[in-house]
Amino acid sequence: MAVEGRTHKPVVDVERCSFCAACMEACPAEIMPEMRQEIDSMRGKIFSDMDMQVHLKEEDILPLPKCQNACPISQDVRGYIRLIARKQYKEALELIRAANPLPSICGYVCHHPCESACVRGNLDEALSIRSLKRFAAAAATPSLMPVKPVASINKKITIIGSGPAGLAAAYELAKTGYTVEIIESYHRPGGLLAWGIPEFRLPRDILQKDIDFITQTGVDIRTGIEFGKDITLFDLEKTGTDAVIIATGTQKGLKLELENENSYEGYSECLQFLRSISDGMKIEPGQQVIVVGGGNAAIDSARSALKQGAAKVCLIYRRGPMEMPADKEEVKAALSEGVDIKFFTMPLSFITKDNRITGLHCVKTELKDPDGQGRLRPVQIEGSKFIMQADMVISAVGQKADHETLKNGLGLHGTKLVTDTDTLATNLPNVFAAGDFAQGSSTVVEAMADGKKAAKKVHEFLSGSK
Ligand SMILES: Cc1cc2nc3c(=O)[nH]c(=O)nc-3n(C[C@H](O)[C@H](O)[C@H](O)COP(=O)(O)OP(=O)(O)OC[C@H]3O[C@@H](n4cnc5c(N)ncnc54)[C@H](O)[C@@H]3O)c2cc1C
């Protein structure tokens, strides 16, 4: 342990402290959990009492352990790992659920910033925090009772979009006591989790488990209704909605910006490609597929193309492996399945025959000339052009929000709908925006954090508490 000395004179050795909290557990003054993170707790006193022999510098002290600090929804990782170690799986899942309405899903696909921050990684390997969450969710979900609202508030909130942002907002508001409905245009709830992330990475029964828990708190999910087309803000107000949260994500694929991009057979945008597979449509990708991009969506498209029967799938990315945003585990899985990755490569133009794609003109790149944020730019290397054969080209270079909903009277503030990133307010007083739609493409846990924040802002707005 990193703490030594007699009870009244503890010594914290900062070099060895890994915020495991074993000292706090052993210390009788720390048995009250609520004391642990308080400034005047024993831990706080250890840091400040001059009588004590302390080697910690102020800048070394974090209000929370690093794993918890790195998590957008501040999961008490230390707490639930300890409960799992004691075989208290139900309590572990209850603790996880207190901050995270989608624990089963996160056990599969969270990008786990907690593990990147885990101090155990300095010694050997980070703890497998995501797998432990997955284990707790699998072991204890059947024994968990639905959460009862703490009050009954005679106000209705409509959330547009049932992705992680919308689901998290709905769960928080239902727990608080509001009547909550979600309007979803797709025929199944879950957002990108239901049709973007492939089933081989996120089984649909796992998604359903978390959604069932949320609907059991009283959230009503209405699918197959498109906001802006089938229903408007005006309709919602007429049926008694007091506040609206728009959480429609980023559903529009960015273009490769190549000539005649959309007009050739054999071209697909990744979300359309993944959605067709999720809908059970028969896809014939041909023998050779090129995927352009470097994120999880690109990796998912490449792996899906192989599973759809392509003989050869090559992913091209204009930067290097260090810059690639896709999760390392996903890249490893793609390579092991046979996906070829060509780094420092970008497409220049399509090669076609009879309006069908037969290949791509490509060029090698190098990183130089930093942009405004200091990020090195991929620049073409002169004389390095080459040709790649392809029956299908999938573009996976990012997504943006579809602002069709603006027809409803919402206005843009610069390029964003949200006028205030703190309040998540739009130009209409009772309309808020959250998740990827408001902040740009992110991750499941970041979208959830934003959804929870939107719920808090709506509650403050409706209750006049701020
Ligand atoms: C292929 C792919 C793989 C990914 N992999 C990972 C991963 O492994 N880990 C990770 O953390 N993140 C991953 N992400 C990112 C993550 O999925 C998103 O950041 C997250 O889903 C965003 O949540 P959201 O609720 O803001 O929006 P979304 O999940 O996009 O949900 C928005 C919902 O709104 C609905 N909607 C849209 N317009 C309307 C309308 N007009 N009316 C009614 N409903 C509407 C949509 O149908 C959708 O259900 C991945 C993304 C992609 C594309």
For ligand 1, whether the C-beta of 304 sits within 6 Å is no
- What distance in Å separates the CA atoms of residue 406 and residue 402, rounded to the nearest whole number? 9
Q: Nearest residue CA, atom 38 of ligand 1?
A: 248
pLDDT confidence of residue 50 = 40
- What distance in Å separates the CA atoms of residue 221 and residue 191, rounded to the nearest whole number? 12
407 has a pLDDT exceeding 90: no
**Nearest-atom index, ligand 1, CA of 441:** 19
pLDDT confidence of residue 59 = 55
- What distance in Å separates the CA atoms of residue 111 and residue 108, rounded to the nearest whole number? 9
Whole-number Å distance, alpha carbon 166 to ligand 1 midpoint, is 10
For ligand 1, whether the C-beta of 247 sits within 6 Å is yes
Residues 443-449: what's their mean pLDDT? 97
For CA atoms 315, 318, 320, 321, the dihedral sign is negative
- What distance in Å separates the CA atoms of residue 347 and residue 328, rounded to the nearest whole number? 24
**Is 150 among the domain residues?**
no
For ligand 1, whether the C-beta of 183 sits within 6 Å is yes
- Among 344, 369, 399, residue at a domain's last position: 399
Residues 50-64: what's their mean pLDDT? 52
421: confidence class by pLDDT, cuts 50, 70, 90: confident
Higher pLDDT, 143 or 229: 229
Predicted TM-score (pTM) of this structure: 0.89
- Among 80, 112, 143, residue at a domain's last position: 143
For ligand 1, whether the C-beta of 189 sits within 6 Å is no
5 has a pLDDT exceeding 70: no
195 and 84 co-located in one domain: no
378: confidence class by pLDDT, cuts 50, 70, 90: very high
Domain count, the chain: 3
Whole-number Å distance, alpha carbon 192 to ligand 1 midpoint, is 4
pLDDT in tens, 244-300: 999 999 988 898 988 888 789 999 999 999 999 999 988 889 899 999 999 999 999
Domain coverage including residue 175: 156-251+401-463
For residue 17, the domain's CATH number is 1.10.1060
pLDDT confidence of residue 312 = 97
Cα 375 to chain centroid distance, Å, stands at: 23
CB 444 within 8 A of CB 109: yes
Contacting residues for 32 by C-beta, under 8 A, at least 6 apart: none
126 and 138 co-located in one domain: yes
pLDDT in tens, 230-250: 998 889 989 999 999 999 999
- Among 399, 420, 446, residue at a domain's last position: 399
**Is 149 among the domain residues?**
no
pLDDT confidence of residue 45 = 54
3-state DSSP assignment of residue 381: coil
For ligand 1, whether the C-beta of 197 sits within 6 Å is yes
* Percent of the chain at pLDDT exceeding 70: 83
Q: Nearest residue CA, atom 49 of ligand 1?
A: 191
For ligand 1, whether the C-beta of 447 sits within 6 Å is yes
Among 110, 278, 443, name the best residue to mutate to test ligand 1's pocket (greatest count of ligand atoms within 8 A of Cβ). 443
For ligand 1, whether the C-beta of 129 sits within 6 Å is no
Q: Nearest residue CA, atom 52 of ligand 1?
A: 297
278 and 385 co-located in one domain: yes
377 and 454 co-located in one domain: no
389 and 419 co-located in one domain: no
Average pLDDT, the chain: 87
193 and 324 co-located in one domain: no
**Nearest-atom index, ligand 1, CA of 229:** 41
21 has a pLDDT exceeding 90: no
8 and 109 co-located in one domain: yes
3-state DSSP assignment of residue 404: helix
CB 244 within 8 A of CB 430: yes
**Is 44 among the domain residues?**
yes
Whole-number Å distance, alpha carbon 373 to ligand 1 midpoint, is 27
145: confidence class by pLDDT, cuts 50, 70, 90: confident
Higher pLDDT, 61 or 204: 204
For ligand 1, whether the C-beta of 249 sits within 6 Å is yes
3-state DSSP assignment of residue 104: helix
29 and 106 co-located in one domain: yes
Residues 57-81: what's their mean pLDDT? 82
**Nearest-atom index, ligand 1, CA of 202:** 8
pLDDT confidence of residue 414 = 65
Q: Nearest residue CA, atom 41 of ligand 1?
A: 227
205 and 101 co-located in one domain: no
- What distance in Å separates the CA atoms of residue 393 and residue 426, rounded to the nearest whole number? 38
125 and 216 co-located in one domain: no
Complete DSSP assignment for 258-327: -TTGGGSBTEEEHHHHHHHHHTT------SEEEEE--SHHHHHHHHHHHHTT-SEEEEE-SS-TTT--S-
Higher pLDDT, 55 or 136: 136
- What distance in Å separates the CA atoms of residue 438 and residue 88, rounded to the nearest whole number? 38
For ligand 1, whether the C-beta of 251 sits within 6 Å is yes
For residue 299, the domain's CATH number is 3.50.50.60
CB 4 within 8 A of CB 13: yes
Ranking 17-31, 180-194, 378-392 by mean pLDDT, the lowest is: 17-31
300 and 395 co-located in one domain: yes
Please give the DSSP secondary-structure letter assigned to residue 148.
Answer: P
91 and 196 co-located in one domain: no
**φ, ψ at 123 (rounded to 5°):** -90, -55
Residues 386-414: what's their mean pLDDT? 83
Q: Nearest residue CA, atom 14 of ligand 1?
A: 443
**Is 388 among the domain residues?**
yes
